[in-house]
Homo-oligomer: A and B are copies of this chain.
Amino acid sequence: MLDRLFKPRAIAVIGASNNPLSIGYIVIENLRNHDFKGPIYPINPKADEILGLPVYKSVVDVPGDVDLVNISIKNVLVPKVLEECGRKGVKFAIVHTAGFKEVGEEGRRLEREIVDIAHRHGMRIYGPNSQGIQNSDPEVSVYANFTFVPMTQGNLSLVAQSGGVGEVFKLHLHEVGMGIRMYSSFGNEADVRMNEIIDFYGQDEGTRAILVHIETLSDTKEFLDIASRTTKRKPILALKTGRTPEGAVAVSSHTGTLVEQDTISDAVFDKAGVLRMPTQDELVQTGIAFSSQPAPAGPNVALITNTGGPAIIAVDELMAGGLKLARLSDQTKETLRKSLHPEAIVSNPVDVVATATPEHYGITVETLLADPNVDSLFINFVTAPFVDLDGIAQRIAEAGQSATKPILCVVMTIEKWAGLIRRIRSSGIPVYAYPETAARVLIAMTRYGRYRGRAYSEPPVAAADRARAAAILSAAQPGFMSQSDLFALLQAYGIECAPGRPVAGSADLAKAAQELGFPVALKIDAQDVVHKTEAGALRLGIKNEEELDKAFRELQEKFASKQSATLVQKMMPAGKEVIVGFKRDPQAGPLIMFGLGGIFVELMRDAAFKLAPLCREEALEMIQGIKAYPLLAGFRGDRGADIEALVDILIRVSNLACDNPGIQEMDLNPVFAYPAGRKSVVVDARARIR
Which residues between 519 and 559 of chain A lie within 8 Å of chain B, taking CB atoms?
Answer: 531, 533-534
Q: CA–CA, A317 to B239, complex, Å?
A: 13
Residues of B within 8 A of A166 (CB): 309
From B175, B309, B312, B631, give the contact of A414 (CB < 8 A): B175
Q: How far apart are A203's CB and chain B's nearest CB, in angstroms?
A: 27
Residues of B within 8 A of A456 (CB): none
Q: Is A48 an interface residue (CB 8 A)?
A: no
Chain B, residue nearest A29 (CB): B385
Residues of B within 8 A of A617 (CB): none
Q: Is A115 an interface residue (CB 8 A)?
A: no
The answer to whether A162 touches B603 (Cβ under 8 A) is no
Q: CA–CA, A202 to B246, complex, Å?
A: 43
Which A residues are within 8 Å of any B CB, using their own CB? 21-23, 26, 146-150, 160-168, 171-172, 174-175, 213, 215, 239, 241-244, 279-281, 307-310, 312-313, 315-317, 319-320, 382-383, 385-387, 412-415, 433-437, 531, 533-534, 599-600, 603-606, 627-628, 630-631, 635-637
Residues of B within 8 A of A162 (CB): 307-310, 312
Q: How far apart are A351's CB and chain B's nearest CB, in angstroms?
A: 11
The answer to whether A26 touches B385 (Cβ under 8 A) is yes
Q: CA–CA, A315 to B316, complex, Å?
A: 29
The answer to whether B310 touches A149 (Cβ under 8 A) is no
From B167, B280, B433, B627, give the contact of A382 (CB < 8 A): B167
19 interchain pairs, CB-CB under 8 A: A21-B386, A21-B387, A26-B386, A148-B414, A168-B382, A171-B414, A175-B414, A215-B309, A241-B312, A241-B316, A242-B316, A243-B320, A244-B320, A279-B313, A599-B628, A600-B604, A603-B627, A603-B628, A605-B627
The answer to whether A316 touches B244 (Cβ under 8 A) is yes
Residues of B within 8 A of A627 (CB): 603-605
Q: How many copies does the complex hold?
A: 2
Contact A412 to B167, CB < 8 A, known contacts A280-B313, A387-B21, A628-B599: yes
Contact A243 to B316, CB < 8 A, known contacts A307-B162, A414-B175: yes
- Most B-side CB within 10 Å, residue of A163, A413, A534, A603: A603
Q: CA–CA, A167 to B413, complex, Å?
A: 9
The answer to whether A319 touches B606 (Cβ under 8 A) is no
Q: CA–CA, A279 to B321, complex, Å?
A: 14
The answer to whether B307 touches A163 (Cβ under 8 A) is yes
Chain B, residue nearest A25 (CB): B386
Contact A149 to B414, CB < 8 A, known contacts A21-B386, A279-B436: yes
Q: CA–CA, A591 to B587, complex, Å?
A: 49
Chain B, residue nearest A280 (CB): B434
From B161, B309, B531, B534, give the contact of A161 (CB < 8 A): B309
Residues of B within 8 A of A23 (CB): 386
The answer to whether B164 touches A382 (Cβ under 8 A) is yes
Chain B, residue nearest A308 (CB): B162
Residues of B within 8 A of A319 (CB): 244
The answer to whether B244 touches A168 (Cβ under 8 A) is no
- Most B-side CB within 10 Å, residue of A172, A319, A412, A605: A412
Residues of B within 8 A of A413 (CB): 148, 171
Chain B, residue nearest A535 (CB): B637
From B171, B433, B635, B637, give the contact of A603 (CB < 8 A): B635
Residues of B within 8 A of A630 (CB): 603
Extra 20 A-B pairs, beta carbons < 8 Å, given A148-B413, A279-B436: A22-B386, A146-B385, A148-B414, A149-B414, A160-B309, A164-B307, A164-B308, A166-B309, A167-B412, A168-B412, A171-B413, A174-B414, A239-B313, A242-B312, A242-B316, A244-B320, A279-B313, A599-B631, A600-B604, A603-B630
Q: How far apart are A661's CB and chain B's nearest CB, in angstroms?
A: 32
